[in-house]
């Protein structure tokens, strides 16, 4: 079990969660809860893969994947922002819709054969830095590096810019923003769309970079939900989301690698001896999310901070409360 | 150019606005001269706020015309109104609590272009505040500010945008008498600079103190336009407001001192943000008396009500009829005959999508005749509901009507019906008449006094000093979580109480205005 | 509404505003009409998508109707598919009434199935125990297994405020692996993804069993689970609409702050509702393995717990309405097995739910078309 390889692979799979989580952070900061991440990721995955298969161009696949996720998110946006429907139920519906639609559209894709993936490379100089270099900057997909750049950029946008100020206002007290001329509806649509774009990107990251291929609903296999759980754990901060995503990825990779060797640390490997034991390893990621949820919720209760104050509540000018 | 010929700062002609079930504005005319304070007077529900929300761009009128400095305009959003030089200071503040004063003021502006360099704007806004005599720290987060300071932020918001016309919606509702004086001074200095102010209120005394002219609205129409404030009297205004001779003929029958029903001993409690809200409160309420708590919003009175009704943990003793109910579940307080008329009618006091029946049985569904083993006897429940609906004159189509469709006044009648019917030993009434029209206020006061005469102990918490002074046998003043004064009704002096409400600091600026015991409104 | 003194209609004009205005109350026919309209639109949209991917929508829909209601035999099969849907639908409806988003019906169903299987496979009761004891024991075990699985997220929410949507979902995945462990491991039959078959005493009786006495019932697969489901519907109806507990549930669901003010203990209710909801889903798992497959297998549920969410929503969380809606969706699942592509039933369900929630706006708001005179500001 090469720890270096495990962490590097963890960063790679963590990038998938990262994109989805950061996208959801943007949407939720504007006050809109979008639980349809799983569906948007799957649609992005199938759109990206199908495009790459038919055109041979992986980058085009990425673009179309993002657009697919974005379009789907707009459905949720219209229903919750303009029609003022319950955001929880709409998100669930979006998941069903996205998942079912993706399965229908992806019929037959699994037999498509190998396709060209997005480039991978090693960053010169930086990859020489001890410990960090070989793990984070060596032989990673280009999307991983995009992730590294995205996180601080999003943090800066939210906290140090004027548009970010408006975003935060819209998510905390939309009446205040509206009274001063900020278009609450337009901002929410924009950020829900951004969330959809990133969820689509996350899906493309799976099929075009990290775990290429199309496996029906198993392609995403719950990672959209894990991303939403990460947002709570991250207390709506992009940096904490990144930390959580990479940590999560590393732990999952660790459990995967535990299945193979005959011995672990000198003791006979229970997962090698009795194969059904590996099903417990399968449970681990989801159990971890539960732990992360408890930690995140307790901290929120303790610090009396938490979700953006207007999260989940449709905004209607002049109407107060539900 | 004579007084009459100068272009008006604002003119509204023939404004009509309808909402489902009600005509809020029915052909309203209004004009504002440059440099004047023009009060818009009317009881709650008269249509004043609607009219101003139209002027501010929040609503669009169904008919009518708006002119600013003589030019017809059409506002599609608050942004247009701001661009035209209008600025509204809302009754319910629209501030982002987690952001700083400067950040709140910068929302919606085109500068800064992209990067948020707050220090520069902190200084600018600090300077603006100083120039206008509005004391507030631009770097403070809004949730840390007092209510009075938050109002100053709202005023700075509109001043920073170059507002020439300010619309103040019930600005004094949340202020202590001394803060009201400060506010009036600020308003006068603004008008001397050529700004014009529209002052919305339902309080006669304040209107007469600050306004140059008064327009009165009732039920969506104007009953008197542009009366010079100097030449009109309280009684006349009250009649114009309500449409009939107003005589609040409620009498407080002298009651012999009864047994102590509620006793608080050294009660301490924390507020929602972890900051101490009650710092050692001790008081007693006896049967047959009303103890009024006079306090500015945010000084612990809400937490006081919550501690007594079991909705908030505390340290110290809360004794009801001899039993310490502090930190006991809410069910215990209810079981001890404690009735609670909450501050928040729609958020706490009722379930909006449930029916009138469901809302009326909220405190009695576990006891007969409504409870029937594990089940609820719907027949009995409906019977009780019909009885209460008729007895308390709750205006609604049927008892199955969803409660969210009820007006504020009827909602309060429902809550009072529910709480009073259980013949409580102790009633906690918090802001019982906020936002109600005169008729509803009168019936609420009457019901409270009836309960008092029947021997209940009543703890009345209200921001309306006049209401406290009218109803209470004794008045306690709260400031920063402590009781800073306790008076019998006869000794109560508005000036002294006002001083105590704001911490009793500064020079003695008590006004020796006689306390209105009866007659007059607001 | 003139354009200003002395300037009739120069640069002004009429403007039409399409707006949503709050509705005071809705006529009683509106809600069912909107529901039917939403389903119709959903079917149209699904049809379009089907056409785009090359399937013939009309043939697909006709096939669904025929293969679920075309004969007594297939009606029986439809009811078989509907049985777990009724139970999980009730589970969701009960929880959703309190705005407790139990998305974990699938996992609770699996745990109920596992617990029921444990009665005969562990075994908890020795082989040869008569059916009169085994089946009720499995029933109880199924309920308890599901209830336990529901109590976990319930406890996390009541104690730590953990979001129950994600918690229940994670537990679904964990439950899935749990079943896999037992089915591929200790209980496996020859290493295949199923356990050995249950003894005959652990089989829920079905109509076909009475074929000797009533030949017309031959081949009908409807089993006693359907009866259990109907009884459960009645019980849940009584709880929600007529009992004091149901009043508390409805009050909490509408306004938790008011419920607290009324003295209701919310944490206790979270635990209770999650336990009963989980238990109902557990019953679904039990009836499915004792009435249909007679063994525990990997993947024996085609997502009943998820479809239940849509069933509950379509039934407007009303326990009695869950029954006919579940039968409809049972038809969809039954016929859906043979439809290519395989994601079609899931897609149709998603579209239906979407159209439903979009249509609800018209219950709370009216569309109004108003004319306004727009008076622009001419030069001074």
| Most A CBs within 10 Å, among C21, C101, C174, C179, to test the A interface | C174
Neighbours of chain B (3+ CB pairs under 8 A): A, C
Q: What tens digit of pLDDT does each residue of B238-286 get?
A: 778 776 655 566 777 888 888 999 999 999 999 887 788 999 999 999 9
Chain A residue with minimum CA distance to B50: A318
Q: What is the pLDDT of residue C6?
A: 37
- Confidence at B6, pLDDT banded by 50, 70, 90: low
**C162 contacts A294 by C-beta, under 8 angstroms:** yes
Interface residue B94 vs chain A (CB under 8 A): yes
Domain count, chain C: 1
| Most A CBs within 10 Å, among B20, B90, B94, B348, to test the A interface | B94
ipTM of the complex: 0.86
Instruction: Strand B221-228: give its sheet, edge to edge.
Output: B86-89, B165-169, B196-201, B37-41, B213-218, B221-228
What distance in Å separates residue B114's CA from the closest CA in chain A? 5
Interface residue C365 vs chain B (CB under 8 A): no
Rounded (10°) CA dihedral B414, B415, B421, B425:
-160
| Percent of chain C predicted with pLDDT > 90 | 53
Rounded (10°) CA dihedral C104, C109, C111, C117:
-170
**A50, two tokens:** 């199908």
DSSP state of B257: -
- Confidence at C373, pLDDT banded by 50, 70, 90: low
| Most C CBs within 10 Å, among B8, B16, B74, B335, to test the C interface | B74
DSSP string, A105-173: HTTTGGGS-------EE--TTGGGSTTHHHHHSSSEEHHHHHHHHHHHHHHHHHHHBHHHHHHHHHHH-
Contact flag C374-B74 (C-beta cutoff 8 Å): yes
**B116 contacts B98 by C-beta, under 8 angstroms:** no
Residue B510 has pLDDT above 60, yes or no: no
Interface residue A177 vs chain B (CB under 8 A): yes
Residues B26 and B134 in one domain: yes
Residues B292 and B189 in one domain: no
On average, the pLDDT of chain C sits at 87
Residues B292 and B166 in one domain: no
- Confidence at B381, pLDDT banded by 50, 70, 90: very high
Tell which residue, C256, C247, C257, C261, has the closest CA to residue B331.
C261
**pLDDT under 70: residue ranges of chain A:** 1, 111-114, 303-306, 318-322
Residue B281 lies in a domain: yes
Residues B432 and B305 in one domain: yes
Residue C235 has pLDDT above 70, yes or no: yes
- Among A162, A172, A317, the residue with its CB nearest the CB of B98 is A172
- Confidence at C380, pLDDT banded by 50, 70, 90: very low
Residues B183 and B293 in one domain: no
Contact flag A96-C360 (C-beta cutoff 8 Å): no
Chain C residue with minimum CA distance to B348: C258
What distance in Å separates residue C337's CA from the closest CA in chain A? 14
Tell which residue, C274, C267, C319, C296, has the closest CA to residue C171.
C274
Residues B184 and B284 in one domain: no
Residue B289 has pLDDT above 90, yes or no: yes
Residue B190 lies in a domain: yes
Residue B517 has pLDDT above 50, yes or no: no
Q: What is the pLDDT of residue B3?
A: 53
The range of the structural domain enclosing residue B370 comes to 276-501
Q: What tens digit of pLDDT does each residue of B456-468 get?
A: 999 999 988 888 9
Cis bond upstream, residue C350 (ω within 30) = no
Q: List chain A residues with CB under 8 Å of C161.
A: 297, 300-301
What distance in Å separates residue A20's CA from the closest CA in chain C? 15
The range of the structural domain enclosing residue C208 comes to 81-329
- Give me the total of CB pairs closer than 8 Å, taking one residue from chain A and one from chain C: 158
**C178 contacts C110 by C-beta, under 8 angstroms:** yes
Residues B309 and B196 in one domain: no
Q: What is the pLDDT of residue A118?
A: 85
Among A212-216, B142-146, B222-226, B383-387, the range of highest mean pLDDT: B383-387
The CATH number linked to C290 is 1.10.3470
Chain A residue with minimum CA distance to B271: A304
On average, the pLDDT of chain B sits at 86
Q: What is the pLDDT of residue B521?
A: 37
Cα distance between residue A205 and residue A207, in whole Å: 6
Residues B470 and B409 in one domain: yes
Residues B209 and B302 in one domain: no
- Give the residue-averaged pLDDT of B137-141: 92
Residue C220 lies in a domain: yes
Tell which residue, C282, C265, C245, C237, has the closest CA to residue C102.
C282
Higher pLDDT, residue B1 or A312: A312
The CATH number linked to B192 is 3.40.50.300
**C268 contacts C64 by C-beta, under 8 angstroms:** no
Which residues is B169 bridged to in the sheet? B200
Contact flag B402-C265 (C-beta cutoff 8 Å): no
Chain C residue with minimum CA distance to B397: C25
Residues B100 and B200 in one domain: yes
Q: List chain A residues with CB under 8 Å of B157.
A: 180
Residue C90 has pLDDT above 90, yes or no: yes
Q: What is the pLDDT of residue B519?
A: 37
- Among B94, B99, B116, the residue with its CB nearest the CB of A179 is B94
Q: What is the pLDDT of residue B247?
A: 53
Q: List chain A residues with CB under 8 Å of B97.
A: 172-173, 309
Cis bond upstream, residue C341 (ω within 30) = yes
Domain count, chain B: 2
Interface residue C368 vs chain B (CB under 8 A): no
Q: What tens digit of pLDDT does each residue of B441-498 get?
A: 888 999 999 999 999 999 999 988 888 988 999 999 998 899 998 989 888 888 888 8
Residue B171 lies in a domain: yes
């Amino acid at each position: 079990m090469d720890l270096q390889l495990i962490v590097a692979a963890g960063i790679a799979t963590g990038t998938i969660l990262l994109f989805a989580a950061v996208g959801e952070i943007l949407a939720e900061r504007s006050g809109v809860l979008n639980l349809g991440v799983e569906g948007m990721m799957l649609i992005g995955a199938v759109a990206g893969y199908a495009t790459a298969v038919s055109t041979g161009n992986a980058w085009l696949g990425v673009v179309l994947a993002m657009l697919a996720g974005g379009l789907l998110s707009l459905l949720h946006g219209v229903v919750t922002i303009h029609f003022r429907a319950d955001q929880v139920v709409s998100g669930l519906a979006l998941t069903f819709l996205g998942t079912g639609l993706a399965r229908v559209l992806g019929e037959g894709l699994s037999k498509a054969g190998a396709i060209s993936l997005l480039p991978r490379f090693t960053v010169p100089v930086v990859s020489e830095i001890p410990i960090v270099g070989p793990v984070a900057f060596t032989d990673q997909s280009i999307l991983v590096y995009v992730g590294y750049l995205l996180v601080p950029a999003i943090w800066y946008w939210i906290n140090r810019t004027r548009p970010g100020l408006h975003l935060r206002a819209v998510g905390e007290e939309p009446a205040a923003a509206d009274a001063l001329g900020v278009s609450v509806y337009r901002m929410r649509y924009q950020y829900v769309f951004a969330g959809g774009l990133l969820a689509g990107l996350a899906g493309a990251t799976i099929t075009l970079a990290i775990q290429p291929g199309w496996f029906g609903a198993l392609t995403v296999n719950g990672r959209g939900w894990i991303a939403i759980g990460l947002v709570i754990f991250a207390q709506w901060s992009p940096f904490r989301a990144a930390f959580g995503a990479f940590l999560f990825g590393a732990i999952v990779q660790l459990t995967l690698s535990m299945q193979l060797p005959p011995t672990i640390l000198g003791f006979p490997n229970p997962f090698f001896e009795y194969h059904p034991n590996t099903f417990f390893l399968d449970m681990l990621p989801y159990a971890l999310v539960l732990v992360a949820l408890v930690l995140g919720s307790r901290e929120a209760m303790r610090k009396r901070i938490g979700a953006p104050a207007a999260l989940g509540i449709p905004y209607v000018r002049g109407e107060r409360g539900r | 150019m004579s007084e009459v010929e100068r272009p008006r700062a604002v003119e509204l002609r023939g404004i009509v606005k309808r909402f489902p079930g009600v005509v809020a504005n029915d052909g309203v005319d209004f004009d504002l001269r440059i440099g004047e304070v023009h009060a818009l007077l009317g009881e709650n529900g008269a249509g004043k706020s609607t009219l101003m929300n139209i002027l501010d761009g929040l609503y669009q009128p169904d008919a009518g015309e708006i002119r600013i400095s003589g030019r017809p305009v059409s506002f599609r959003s608050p942004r247009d109104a701001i661009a035209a030089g209008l600025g509204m200071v809302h009754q319910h503040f629209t501030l982002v609590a987690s952001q700083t004063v400067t950040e709140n003021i910068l929302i919606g502006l085109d500068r800064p272009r992209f990067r948020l360099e707050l220090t520069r704007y902190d200084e600018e806004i600090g300077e603006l505040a100083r120039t206008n005599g509005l004391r507030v720290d631009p770097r403070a987060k809004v949730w840390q500010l007092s209510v009075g300071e938050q109002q100053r932020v709202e005023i700075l918001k509109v001043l920073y945008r170059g507002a020439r016309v300010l619309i103040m919606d019930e600005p004094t509702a949340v202020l202590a008498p001394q803060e009201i004086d400060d506010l009036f001074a600020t308003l006068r200095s603004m008008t001397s600079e050529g700004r014009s102010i529209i002052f919305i209120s339902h309080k006669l005394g304040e209107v007469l103190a600050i306004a140059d002219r008064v327009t009165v609205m009732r039920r969506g129409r104007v009953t008197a336009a542009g009366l010079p404030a100097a030449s009109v009297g309280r009684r006349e205004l009250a009649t114009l407001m309500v449409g009939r001779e107003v005589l609040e003929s409620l009498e407080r029958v002298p009651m012999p001192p009864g047994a102590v029903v509620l006793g608080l001993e050294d009660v301490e409690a924390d507020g929602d943000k972890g900051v101490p809200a009650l710092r050692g409160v001790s008081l007693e309420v006896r049967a047959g008396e009303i103890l009024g708590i006079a306090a500015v919003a945010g000084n612990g009175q809400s937490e006081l009500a919550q501690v007594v009704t079991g909705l908030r943990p505390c340290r110290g003793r809360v004794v009801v009829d001899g039993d310490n109910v502090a930190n006991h579940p809410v069910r215990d307080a209810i079981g001890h005959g404690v009735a609670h008329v909450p501050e928040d009618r729609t958020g706490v006091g009722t379930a909006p999508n449930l029916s009138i029946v469901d809302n009326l049985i909220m405190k009695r569904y576990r006891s007969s005749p409504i409870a029937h083993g594990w089940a609820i006897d719907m027949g009995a429940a409906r019977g009780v509901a019909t009885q209460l609906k008729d007895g308390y004159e709750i205006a609604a189509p049927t008892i199955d009507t969803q409660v969210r469709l009820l007006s504020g006044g009827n909602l309060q009648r429902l809550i009072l019906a529910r709480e009073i019917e259980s013949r409580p030993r102790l009633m906690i009434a918090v802001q019982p008449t906020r936002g109600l029209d005169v008729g509803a206020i009168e019936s609420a006061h009457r019901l409270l006094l009836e309960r008092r005469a029947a021997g209940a102990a009543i703890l009345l918490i209200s921001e309306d000093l006049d209401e406290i002074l009218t109803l209470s046998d004794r008045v306690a003043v709260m400031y920063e979580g402590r009781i800073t004064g306790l008076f019998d009704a006869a000794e109560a002096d508005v000036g002294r109480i006002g001083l105590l409400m704001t911490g009793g600091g500064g020079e003695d600026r008590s006004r020796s205005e006689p306390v209105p015991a009866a007659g007059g409104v607001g | 509404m003139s354009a200003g003194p002395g300037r009739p209609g120069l640069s002004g004009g009429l403007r039409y505003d399409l707006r949503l205005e709050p509705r005071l109350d809705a006529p009683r026919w509106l809600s069912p009409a909107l529901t039917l309209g939403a389903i119709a639109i959903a079917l149209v949209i699904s049809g379009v998508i089907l056409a785009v991917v090359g399937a013939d929508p009309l043939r697909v829909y006709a096939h669904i109707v025929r293969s679920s209601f075309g004969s007594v035999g297939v009606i029986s099969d439809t009811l078989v598919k509907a049985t777990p849907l009724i139970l999980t639908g009730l589970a969701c409806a009960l929880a959703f009434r309190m705005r407790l988003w139990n998305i974990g019906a699938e996992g609770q169903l699996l745990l109920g199935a596992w617990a029921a299987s444990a009665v005969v496979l562990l075994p908890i009761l020795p082989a040869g125990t008569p059916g009169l004891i085994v089946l009720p024991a499995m029933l109880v075990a199924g309920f308890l297994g599901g209830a336990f699985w529901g109590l976990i997220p319930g406890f996390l929410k009541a104690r730590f405020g953990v979001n129950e949507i994600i918690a229940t979902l994670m537990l679904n995945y964990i439950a899935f692996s749990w079943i896999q462990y037992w089915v591929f491991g200790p209980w496996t039959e020859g290493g295949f993804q199923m356990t050995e078959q249950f003894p005959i005493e652990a089989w829920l009786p079905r109509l076909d069993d009475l074929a000797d006495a009533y030949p017309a019932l031959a081949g009908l697969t409807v089993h006693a689970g359907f009866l259990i489901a109907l009884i459960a519907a009645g019980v849940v109806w009584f709880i929600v609409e007529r009992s004091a507990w149901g009043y508390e549930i409805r009050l909490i669901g509408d306004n938790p702050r008011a419920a607290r003010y009324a003295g209701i203990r919310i944490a206790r209710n979270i635990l209770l509702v999650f336990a009963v909801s989980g238990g109902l889903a557990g019953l679904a798992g039990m009836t499915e393995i004792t009435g249909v497959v007679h063994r525990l297998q990997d993947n024996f549920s085609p997502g009943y717990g998820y479809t239940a969410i849509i069933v509950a929503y379509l039934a407007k969380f009303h326990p009695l309405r869950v029954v006919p809606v579940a039968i409809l969706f049972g038809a969809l699942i039954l016929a859906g097995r043979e439809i290519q592509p395989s994601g079609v039933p899931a897609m149709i369900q998603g579209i239906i739910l979407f159209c439903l929630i979009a249509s609800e706006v018209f219950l709370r708001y009216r569309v109004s078309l108003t004319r306004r005179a727009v008076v622009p500001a001419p030069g001074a």
